[in-house]
Amino acid sequence: MGGQAHSSMWMELLDFPLPGRLSKPRTQGLTMVIDKGLGLHETKDLLHTAGAYIDFIKLGFGTSGLYPQDLLEEKINMVKACGIDIYPGGTFLEIAVLQGKLKDYLAYAKDLGYTAVEISDGTIKIPPEVRERAICMALEHDLKVLTEVGNKDPRDRVEVGRYIEQILSDLEQGAFKVILEGRESGKGAGFYDPEGRFLADDVEQVLAAVGDPQPLIWEAPLKQQQLELILRFGPNVNLGNIAPAELLSLEALRVGLRGDTLRPICRESV
């Protein structure tokens, strides 16, 4: 079941129109899935069909706290067995911080079998020194650290320079990647306007400061967003908040097996 690269015989006959896609395990070209409550059959289906294309599965929001215990444990184990990292949503960790339970939270996440955590402040305010300590503690628990920058609610937006400082500081502290907020909807949060278009100025400033898109994971639930990022950065851009049902469609988009990325190759190059 899943895990290693698929050796489809189709693709011995045809070439991927967009070449260069990396296979797992990889540190670039990551795909992170948002899972809002898949059951065990659905999880098996996802792993079997698309496990070779998934690097991270996030159990969205605080849904981790709502599963029956046995189901949650079985699910985590199934995902890990396919060479996929799994972690609880960032909001759940924010609640632990809010309730003064961060240490217990990290220990229990590790016990349960989670391999990573997300450290964010999308909803609550977390002072920089607490964020740094959280990263450090998670690393001590041998958890992979993804941090996230960007507001969930438009009322909480701050200027982009603040986000840039966070990104650089998080990476320096040992974050594996920094996620750019996009929410499940891809609209009106983080680096998107209410219609889901990139806030171009903010994006360019972030890129100029970071230098290279590879430390970033773009939450990009909408096809148009995925398309723009692939056309700009290539098939190995890191993408997050991908819906489970969109996994093969996204992979097709990455390698040019879909009209939107095939077209620029065969029409616009003329």
Please report how close the Cβ of residue 247 comes to a second copy at its closest, in angstroms. Answer: 6
Strand order of the β-sheet with 56-59 is: 85-88, 56-59, 31-35, 239-242, 216-219, 177-180, 144-149, 116-119
Closest CB to a second copy among residues 215, 250:
250
Binding of residue 108 to a second copy (CB under 8 A): yes
Interface residue with a second copy, options 6, 80, 141, 187 (CB under 8 A): 6
Size of the site for a second copy (CB under 8 A): 73
- Does 61 bind a second copy (CB under 8 A)? Our answer is yes
Among 63, 115, 169, 214, binds a second copy (CB under 8 A): 63
Q: Among residue numbers 22 through 51, which ones bind a second copy (CB under 8 A)?
A: 36-42, 44-46, 48-50
Query: How remote is the C-alpha of 101 from its chain's centroid?
Result: 25
Q: What is the C-alpha to C-alpha distance for residues 206 and 215, in angstroms, rounded to an integer?
A: 11
Please choose, from the candidates 117, 8, 113, 135, the residue with its C-alpha nearest in 3D space to the C-alpha of residue 56.
Answer: 117
Could you give the CA distance from residue 3 to residue 50 in angstroms, rounded to a whole number?
A: 9
Window contacting a second copy (CB under 8 A); options: 24-32, 120-128, 198-206, 229-237: 120-128
Paired tokens of 46: 């996802």
Residue 113 near a second copy by CB under 8 A: no
69 is a contact residue toward a second copy (CB under 8 A): yes
Q: Is 2 in the site for a second copy (CB under 8 A)?
A: yes
Q: Which residues inside 137-166 make contact with a second copy, applying CB under 8 A? A: 152-153, 156
Check whether the bond before 17 is cis (ω within 30° of 0): no
Single-letter residue type at 179: I
Residues 231-250 that bind a second copy (CB under 8 A): 245-249
